[in-house]
Structure 1
Amino acid sequence: MLKKLKFYLIGLVPGLLIVFFILNQKGTSCSYFPNDRVIAETLTKDFSYSEKFKKEMKTGQISEKQLKNNIIPNGKIDFDRSNAQKQPCPEYILIYPKSNPDYEIHYSKCKEKAEFISLKKLK
């Protein structure tokens, strides 16, 4: 029995290390929580902005880079107020930061693009 366990561990440990390093290099993530999946899918889409959203970004001095690199990845989807079942483009409410939010973003996520509709400063 100990011999079988030893062979099992000899294969398991190097296998786990190899998989860990391969997945780390590709920048993949293994989070399957709904919030993380919606945000990851959103970040792969082409972004388009309504005129209202552009105006609110300018007023709040938020750049597109800041939106893509900071606000969206660190935000939280409010599924209670979102319409995730809407066809053909589900609509979501994202709040940023997750605790004690400063911003609320309303957007729709279609197959090819994410259209940002409104941006509200909460404080």
Structure 2
Amino acid sequence: MKKLKFYLIGFSIGMIFVFFILNKKGASCTYFPNDRVIAETLTKRFEASEQFSQELKALNLDMKYVQDSIVAHGKIDFDKSNAQKEPCPQYILNYPAKNPKYQISYEKCKETANFFSIKKVN
């Protein structure tokens, strides 16, 4: 029993150190499909179609807001997306996750994320 107690104390202290070290380095764990797609999308160069640019103007939004807020905090609708399409999977993103206000259609290619349309929902 004494050995188990020492093991648990040491293990707990080790986990706390690891947590603080990884947290300072900005490491993140993206295990879920939605998180992986969002993280990969944010590493790509954003390109907007003519239709997307016009829709942004009509909604009084800009590309920085799309990248920093909508894409970063959105939720991928995998039922409506074509995630297996080659070479560029197509996704439908809803923002915010609960009671969405915007729906974006885009494809994620090797170097770029190409945005096709943004629609106001409701």
TM over 0.5: yes
Partner of 1:119: 118
TM-score (norm 1): 0.91
Partner of 2:87: 88
Percent of matched pairs sharing the same residue? 61
Shift of 1:52: 0.8
Shift of 1:108: 0.3
Tell me whether 1:28 sits opposite 2:24 in the alignment: no
Shift of 1:7: 2.7
> How far apart are the structure 1 equivalents of 2:82 and 2:3?
52
> How far apart are the structure 1 equivalents of 2:69 and 2:27?
18
Q: Residue 73 of structure 1 aligns to a residue in which SS?
A: helix
Q: Write out aligned runs for 1:37-52 (5 A).
A: 37-52=36-51
Q: Residue 72 of structure 2 aligns to a residue in which SS?
A: coil
Shift of 1:6: 2.6
Shift of 1:62: 1.1
> How far apart are the structure 2 equivalents of 1:112 and 1:14?
42
Choose 84-93 or 113-122, whichever is displaced more: 113-122
TM-score (norm 2): 0.92
Partner of 2:6: 7
Segments of structure 1 that go 5 or more residues without pairing to the other structure are none
Q: Residue 106 of structure 1 aligns to a residue in which SS?
A: strand
Deviations 1:45-99 (A, max 9, x none): 1111111111111111112221111111221111011000000000000011112
Paired residues, number: 122
Q: Residue 72 of structure 1 aligns to a residue in which SS?
A: helix
Q: Residue 48 of structure 1 aligns to a residue in which SS?
A: strand
Shift of 1:12: 0.8
Shift of 1:122: 1.8
Structure 1's consecutive aligned runs of 4 or more residues displaced over 2 angstroms after TM superposition are: none
> How far apart are the structure 2 equivalents of 1:72 and 1:28?
19
Partner of 1:100: 99
Q: What one-letter code is carried by the residue in structure 2 that aligns with 1:91?
A: Q
> How far apart are the structure 2 equivalents of 1:88 and 1:10?
50
Segments of structure 2 that go 5 or more residues without pairing to the other structure are none
